Amino acid sequence: MSFWLARDRKGQHSDHIQRFDPRFWTINFPRPMMASVVTTAPDALRVDCTFFHQGELAGLIWESEDRLDHPLLAYETQRDYAHCVLRFRWRSGGVLALDVPHGPTLTIEGRDAAGQPRAWYVRLWNYASGTPSDAQIELPFSSLQSGYGLPGEAVHPADIDETPAAGERPRDYAIRMAREKAQAAASEDGFVLAGDTVVAAGRRILPKAEDAATARKCLELLSGRRHRVLSAIALRAPDGHLRERLSETTVLFKRLSAEEIDAYLASGEWEGKAGGYAIQGLAEGLISRIQGSHSGVVGLPLYETRALLKSAGFQIV
């Protein structure tokens, strides 16, 4: 991963560091406990802790975004850990050993494949070889599993930030999200098809409704007016080549009464949906006109998907 001596890359000198460079780890702990992290070599660090109460925890932290260094010295923000492997030697004393319940754990705070915030807890002992106090640990992020034992729940290694960039057009945002999701799930073993759906009122990108208040605001905004639904798909080949397609559909809601909005919110169909509604349900009865792709509004534009697959050589009748 790279860093450069400027806020933006505009031809300035740049250099590279290895992901997880020891110089950029920090530590967090509850007071009055004390802890420190020291870089002892270009590829090593040491953590010293002083505990005052039983059960106290200290966390050694690597952040995808460099929040502590000056912007001119910060490393590049990169949240995709697919195909990344962290190897290190663990040597400890005076703390819980690797093999005990609730022992040393890797906590990964990121997002799942749907872009929702998640945390996974990976037991280090599951990936260790050696003794509980002196072991080699190898963490392949593309195949990590959380939980006490193996097999466990698969960890999603890419945290995709779904925040639109400043001034980003809805169609550009939809394509970028589909492209990033395809790259995040990249595999050398086969093709990856990913997509994203954006609801836009003019140039305004409506959020995915995570609560009823957000869904209500979206429906009140869309009531009696036209809006666009942009569904982008991206197909990534094993060699990294990307193909993209975009479906754009115009949708017109009838003028919604307060009672109709309340009834739709009570159905729960809005949860996690862009623009606060799902056309494949009760909302279809509130839509007076649609111009474009119905399947695109659902979330996967079938015509564009078929054309994309055929362009990649898939035999489709």
Residue 230: beta bridge partners? 198, 248
111, amino acid identity: R
Residues 199/253, Cβ–Cβ less than 8 Å: no
- What's the start-to-end Cα distance of the chain, in Å? 44
Neighbours of 249 (CB within 10 A): 20
Six-digit token string for 183: 């790259």
Q: Is 48 a catalytic residue?
A: no
Distance, CA of 21 to CA of 40 (rounded, Å): 12
The torsion angles phi and psi of 48, rounded to 5 degrees, stand at -115, 130
C-alpha–C-alpha distance, residues 133 and 92, integer Å = 5
Q: Which of 196, 211, 239, 262 is catalytic?
A: 196
Sequential DSSP letters for 174-185? HHHHHHHHHHHT
Q: Are 232 and 245 in contact (CB under 8 A)?
A: yes
- List Cα–Cα distances, 209 to 116, 118, 197, in angstroms: 12, 17, 13
Pairing mode, strands 105-111 and 192-201:
unpaired
Q: How far apart are CA 150 and CA 128, in angstroms?
A: 13
Active site residues: 196
